[in-house]
Amino acid sequence: MVTSIDVFAKARENERIAQMNAAREIGAMPYFHVLEGPTLPVVEMEGQARIMLGSNNYLGLTGDERVKQGARDALERYGTGITGSRFLNGTLDLHLQLERELAEWLGTEAALVFTTGHQANVGALGTILAPGDTVIADSGDHASIMDGVILSRAKLRAFRHNRIDRLEHALQRAVEDGGGVLVVVDGVFSTEGDVAPLPEICDLCQRYGARLMVDEAHALGVLGARGAGTCELLGVEDRVDLRMATFSKSLASCGGVIAGPMDVVEFLRIQARPFIFTASGVPAAVGAALAAVRICRSDEGPALFGRVLDNARYLHGGLRELGFRVVPPTRLADGTELITPVVPVLVGDDWKAAFLWKALYEAGVFVNVMIHPAVPPGGALLRTSVMASHDRATLDRALAAFAAVKRAFEAEHGPLPAGE
Ligand SMILES: Cc1ncc(COP(=O)(O)O)c(C=O)c1O
């Protein structure tokens, strides 16, 4: 017997492919544009200088001479790649040094370096959880968290984004599931840029006996006096069981880390499939991340964290004044308002977002576009993000482009969503 179903049919009949082709035809395809130089505040992209408001290079360290030197030194000493798994022939003293310094920075017993942040989440969740356990995740959590849950085959209970009452409801239900319970949230949410209410989440986890893991991808090197992330800023470092972070944002490199108790980290070291069955991070990436960690932990760190947050406030305020709908700041317990380097502009309609992207791109500003399924239907947004190294003149030029694009767009298509 021969099957009549071609597994490749999905590739030919895919709705997203049709959507992308339609966008490409009218020049409004916002993805896969090509950089022709380093990720700096202004980049060369497809033959033109464009203000980069779409990177996660929050501290601007990808162009820092010391970080580049860290990469060069590692490349010279160890070569281009290690051609093997951390488990076998792929562990360098550089990986172990980075693990020690990350654990010291985060104040945890131990840390484990993965090749990417995605693998860190998949490895941790896929290994710690098992069928019979329950994982409770915020609906705004990063896709890599969801991938880890899928690998684990634990029961997923998702709760509505940042809704503590929904989390409590999920915890009540999860206790009846009969297995262990892990709550996992982003510290700073990657799309909305808002912050998880960690003290309240810790209280609930304690009340229901659940463990808590926080993904600090967008908060490491940004939040807290030491730059150790949301857990530090909100004073819950010793109440959170596991912390994940990536090197692909503030640390200007590529890689990921899980930090927590020694026994759990050692368990991951010998059991996590996405750690064992892949090649270890290349020397240049590890050397760059280590140099960036050292800058964050030096006297220079706080000024850098302050600068990126100042820029975020400036861009957020400017966009709000222009009448764009922005995500409101997170109000902290002491009454201060926090705006993280992720500053989304809410648009609503997918096509409107693509047209705005095109107009901004042509005006010399690059932003990221998030459409369904990355966001809920009707929740399309332009995800802008700043670096510590953006100067005010550059941000002002970007805001002027936003103003001109908004005027022209609204004259033709009617008003965009406004307010917070
Ligand atoms: C919240 C969050 N977690 C994890 C990741 C994955 O990190 P990496 O890019 O290092 O694979 C990302 C990256 O986009 C992220 O935004």
Query: How many other CB atoms are found less than 10 A from the CB of residue 333?
Result: 9
pTM of the entire structure? 0.97
HEC readout, 239-296: HCCEEEEECCCCCCCCCEEEEECHHHHHHHHHHCHHHHCCCCCCHHHHHHHHHHHHHH
Pocket test of ligand 1: the residue of 139, 142, 184, 216 to mutate, having most ligand atoms within 8 Å of its CB, is: 142
Asked whether the beta carbons of 257 and 113 are under 8 A apart, the reply is yes
CATH 3.90.1150.10 in the chain, residue ranges: 15-52+300-413
pLDDT, tens only, 222-258: 999 999 999 999 999 999 999 999 999 999 999 999 9
Q: Is 218 tagged catalytic?
A: yes
> Is there an atom of ligand 1 within 6 Å of 157 CB?
no
Q: What is the mean pLDDT of residues 109-113?
A: 98
Which residues, other chains included, contact 338 with Cβ-Cβ below 8 Å and sequence gap of 6+? Answer: 195, 223, 233, 309, 329, 330, 331, 332
Q: What is the mean pLDDT of residues 279-285?
A: 97
Asked whether the beta carbons of 330 and 420 are under 8 A apart, the reply is no
Ligand 1, atom nearest to 247 Cα: 10
Asked whether the beta carbons of 244 and 258 are under 8 A apart, the reply is yes
What's the mean per-residue pLDDT of the chain? 96
pLDDT, tens only, 154-184: 999 999 999 999 999 999 999 999 999 999 9
Q: What is the mean pLDDT of residues 377-403?
A: 97
What per-residue confidence (pLDDT) applies to 264?
98
pLDDT tops 80 at residue 126: yes
Hey, what amino acid is at 137? A
CATH 3.40.640.10 in the chain, residue ranges: 64-297
- For the domain with range 64-297, which CATH number is right: 3.40.640.10, 3.40.50.1970, 3.40.80.10, 3.40.50.720? 3.40.640.10
CATH of domain 15-52+300-413: 3.90.1150.10
What per-residue confidence (pLDDT) applies to 420?
67
CA of 310 to the centre of ligand 1 (A): 23
What per-residue confidence (pLDDT) applies to 17?
87
- In eight-state DSSP terms, residue 131 is B
What gap in Å lies between CA 141 and CA 146, rounded to an integer?
Answer: 8
- In eight-state DSSP terms, residue 368 is E
Residue entry with tokens 């709705």: 15
Query: Which strand (E) or helix (H) includes residue 317?
Result: helix 301-321
